[in-house]
Structure 1
């Protein structure tokens, strides 16, 4: 897990084609206070978030008030970074859960969810709650409960082939076939018979509550709109059509974000023609003749109703004539639709439309792509460019974007704002740098490296060479970087790295209200070949040498601190 390191404010005098001459040094202060300095730290003894500090021969686990020394297999030790905030790690021998070791085959390891302080996870063979195996659950069947479209997943409700569970507790009688998550409320779900909150059936005046949609609920005798009982809706025939639409035997109803429920001017004879699109911040419905956005009738000049469609998770829409995004026009005092500037050659349909996976970054029409956020049209894409740019990125070195170079569309790796790499060069703000594109990669935070140099990235100045860091031996070290000579934070040389170990970290000052300009800080206890060091990381870095051995009487923080031998 990455550690919060406060950025040091300094200016470099070079860009990536020149050398940095001055080495920034941490300030030595033999009177540096050995203690935390208050602020909004939540009362934690150690840093607030769980962290594993990986040293050469052992690992330190910490969370708010816990610290443990672990003798894991260092060569195979891996922090589960996506769920790092929960303190999970693996090595070849098992799983570490908040610093507690579980000996198991880790094949198929999957983090499932968290309920307050309890963690649920599994391997190919077993399901675990914290460090305890749950023998009654079948790992191959036990998965997170999803919505009916399988686009969102619960972290507290689960299922197997027969049942639904509230965390690890089976919910008796819940109907698996009709179970669905309630939008924007992870404590609740519903099935054809009931609504459930925290695993229990929800009642209203002794009657079980049934889900209709986001706004409407009902019992056998009452209909509720945003928890207020309303009349003139037929309870028996009321059914949900989507999050914002419902109907009974008499009417179709629309609701949106706290507005009163509206009856739409749709004839009962056309109920069998209803089609609904409802997602993100948009909701549309048609009876085959008229198109509505929520309860607003859209002009027939705006869209071709017969070919209207959406992408399912964005506010973009389309019909045979084009693809559109909506915006509020202040002068007209209404929502208007802007047409994407594709070069349209044939009718638009899902056959010639695509969109970035799980994102509205690009919409593709035939061999073109449009990036609505930058108003950029890319033309003449190859099938490879479409497939690669469609993939949702997961790592800094896999953030592939479309770009333009010499009037041609190219694939570009995006590292940071204004920093990118094409096949031929690394660019800052559209200008070629001297960094080697073949070996260039992100080291950590705002550090980068190629075969010749270590760089720190400044959004305004670009890639700044740090010539005093050894490129051959530089590596990430528990939120810092180090080489064969020294430990560094944001270009500042701190202490020597020979036999370096990180022993503990503590919260320093945490910012108060918006007017508080006191610099935030963290404190670290290190040991190297010279001895023990107390380091304060803030807008400046300050060190204090504590001696060859650690005198635990120096601070109450050290009194019960176990030090590895």
Structure 2
């Protein structure tokens, strides 16, 4: 056992054996070794030589034979000239730039192989910026690709995965059309992999849950009074929104009920006119069914557990299988 973890090494799949106790040695808080093998958090690093193994930074390590990323060999990299170019390990979540004598490369944070080689790059002027961006004297890069037509002099990295220059607004290094770069504002809060932003012309939601993001304009949103609330809700002076759904409720008197568990995919809210329930589908792309509960007593309505609720007259039972509300008398 090492730090409460059982340390084993592979013999021949599916068999493993415990680490050699007599020669076992802790290298640091992440790595350990014995005379046979090297371990990372108790897991065997296949092929690592315990005599020459050296931990590096940003999840990399090396020995006389190879460069490793976590528990895996990084194939095709010159071990003698290998260098990590990221300076801040807090930036690793956006991916890592590294180099050897043959070029500059990019690898996503949890990927093994393949990594990407940056093409047509000026190695002497290459510089890692932040949030997955980098530059040389000729281009701006996001991850491993060139941001086409980016203006070098006015390019600015914003929050999260956003950037802009004098001509374009970008997300994940790609242009977002029809956004006014002079007036664009990014809201700091996001929900369920969705970002909110606005410009002089409207309010927008960027949905990043799939590899190809989707941008939706909230058609009737008032840009001056639009604000982020919580758990996917936003509002302006006229309406309340749940993601890109406009709800027919009064934004001035609305109250959003706190749910015990978000994973059950049901939400309740009320205004002066009634109680409303929103049920989320479990299959992507997600859809939302919004219903007003009939004959409910607003004053005594309360949330129970597991998506259920009650008032003085009825129980409202959430049918998880059919995604419906079953109303029963008390």
SS at match of 2:297: coil
CA RMSD of aligned residues (A): 5.2
Over alpha carbons, which structure has the higher Rg?
1
- Answering whether residue 85 of structure 2 is matched by residue 275 of structure 1, we say yes
1:121-520 matches, cutoff 5 A: 196-198=2-4, 204-211=20-27, 217-219=32-34, 223-224=37-38, 227=44, 230=47, 235=51, 238-242=53-57, 244-247=59-62, 253-256=66-69, 260=73, 262=75, 264-265=77-78, 267=80, 275-276=85-86, 279=92, 282-287=95-100, 290-293=103-106, 298-301=117-120, 306-311=126-131, 316-319=132-135, 321-325=139-143, 337=145, 339=147, 344=151, 346=153, 348=155, 352-356=156-160, 362-365=161-164, 370-372=170-172, 376=176, 378-380=179-181, 385-386=185-186, 389-391=187-189, 401-404=195-198, 407-409=201-203, 410=223, 411=226, 413=228, 420-427=234-241, 432-443=246-257, 444=259, 445-457=266-278, 463-479=290-306, 480-490=308-318
Taking the aligned partners of 1:457 and 1:373, their CA distance within structure 2 comes to 34
What is the rounded CA distance, in whole Å, between the counterparts of 1:461 and 1:292 in structure 2?
Answer: 42
Deviations 1:477-497 (A, max 9, x none): 44532334333235x9xxxxx
How many residues align structurally? 268
CA contact (8 A) 1:317 1:323 kept: yes
- Stretches of structure 1 that go unaligned for 5 or more consecutive residues are 1-187, 189-195, 327-336, 357-361, 493-518, 522-536, 546-565
User: 2:239–2:246: 8 Å Cα contact kept in structure 1?
Assistant: yes
Offset of residue 206 of structure 1:
0.7
CA distance in 1 between partners of 2:195 and 2:248 (Å): 21
Q: Structure 1 residues 288 and 477, CA, compared in 2 at 3 Å: closer, same or farther?
A: same
Report SS of the residue matched to 1:204: coil
> 2: CA distance between counterparts of 1:230 and 1:489?
56
Post-superposition offset of 1:406: 7.4
CA deviation digits over 1:240-285, x for unaligned, max 9? 123553245x67x323577556463265xx57x6535774594432
Alpha-carbon shift at residue 365 of structure 1 (Å) = 4.2
1:373, 1:482 → 2: CA distance?
A: 49
> Displacement, 1:468?
0.9
Once the two structures are superposed, residues 44-79 of structure 1 have per-residue CA deviations (whole angstroms, 9 ceiling, x without a partner) of: xxxxxxxxxxxxxxxxxxxxxxxxxxxxxxxxxxxx
Q: CA deviation at 1:198?
A: 1.0
Is the contact between residue 276 and residue 286 of structure 1 (CA under 8 Å) also seen in structure 2?
no
> Whole-Å Cα distance in 2 between the matches of residues 322 and 432 of structure 1?
38
Looking at both structures, which has the greater relative contact order when contacts are Cα pairs under 8 Å and sequence separation is at least 6? 1
Whether the 8 Å CA contact 1:213–1:244 is kept in 2: the answer is: no
- Using the TM superposition, give the Cα deviation of residue 435 of structure 1 relative to its aligned residue in structure 2, in angstroms: 1.6
How far apart are 1:448 and its partner, in Å? 1.6
Distance of 1:369 and 1:222 partners within structure 2? 53
Structure 2: gaps (5+ residues): 8-17, 108-112, 204-222, 260-265, 281-286
Secondary structure of the corresponding residue to residue 456 of structure 1:
strand
| TM-score normalised per structure 1 | 0.36
Q: Deviations over 1:315-371 (max 9, x none)?
A: x44335335256xxxxxxxxxx374x89646265xxx42434xxxxx4244798645
1:537-556 to 2 correspondence within 5 Å? none
Query: Cα 1:261–1:414, aligned 2, differ >3 Å: closer, same or farther?
Result: same
Distance 1:477 1:462 in 2: 20
Kept in 2: contact 1:213–1:240 (CA 8 A): no
Q: Aligned-pair distance for 1:302?
A: 5.5
TM-score computed with the length of structure 2 as normaliser: 0.55
Residues 390-438 of structure 1 show CA distances to partners (whole Å, capped at 9, x for unaligned) of 2466xx9xx9942458723455537778x75334322478575542122
